[in-house]
Structure 1
Amino acid sequence: MPPTLQQIFEGYLYAGTVSRNADALAETFTEDGIFEAPLVPEGAAFPRRLAGREEIRTAMAAYYARPVEGGRAPNFEKSGYVLHTTSDPDVFIAEIDTVFDGDGDGDGDGTGDRAVSLVQIFRVRDGKIARLRDYFAPALLD
């Protein structure tokens, strides 16, 4: 039985956001999968476009090796998501509200949560991600 869209999304979420495991993340994609972040400027630390499982694995391993800025970590109890199906059974949209613990109020005392909203569009094939477009504000990576 093929994985559900929710299982595909949660597998991707766990591999990337929770464990920051580039190998596991790459395995959520098809061999020729494409990972895009169209709003990220060229030359940014976060990759704008990756084509193929091996490029995803290599680039995300390098990205995950960087220190997490400001000690911010996602608070999964305060965060949430909604998955939206489309008329195409191989496409779904994830509407995500992530809350980061840490200095979200910018006063340097380490208090105050920071909420971030984003949208991801997934196209799947054979239980894997064939194309992912991740729409988030690039300034959030600073």
Structure 2
Amino acid sequence: MSDLAEAKILALIPAYNEGNRVAPVVRAALAYLPVLVVDDGSSDGTARYALDAGAEVLYQQPNQGKGAALRAGFATALERGYQAVLTLDADGQHDPAEIPAFLAAYRRTSADLIIGRRDFTSMPRVRRLANTL
């Protein structure tokens, strides 16, 4: 791509039974990027919460797993001419306020892959332990 400043970038959020937790993530991400939520067979209204928050929603039935949801989202992004995709967890584990840092790194480096690291210091001890398993 010749002009990274004009790159077409999509926020992709795979979701399965996240309910109303997805809405604040969508709203926050929309401040920076268009948002596609892949509803992976949810039965709790996840898609409706995402739509009401302003996301576009791609539906998968039945539940096929996070990997399949990501593949479907990446395929949709490519079909629509996006040059880059930023993924976020639907439950808010990834803070959308960090999106500008990722965009800056992408525009500065044109890297094929940029990976963030969660701050485990503010995570409850039980969750930190579960993440090490």
Higher strand share: 1
Query: TM-score normalized by structure 1?
Result: 0.27
Q: Could you say which structure has the greater relative contact order, defined with CA pairs below 8 angstroms and 6 or more residues apart?
A: 2
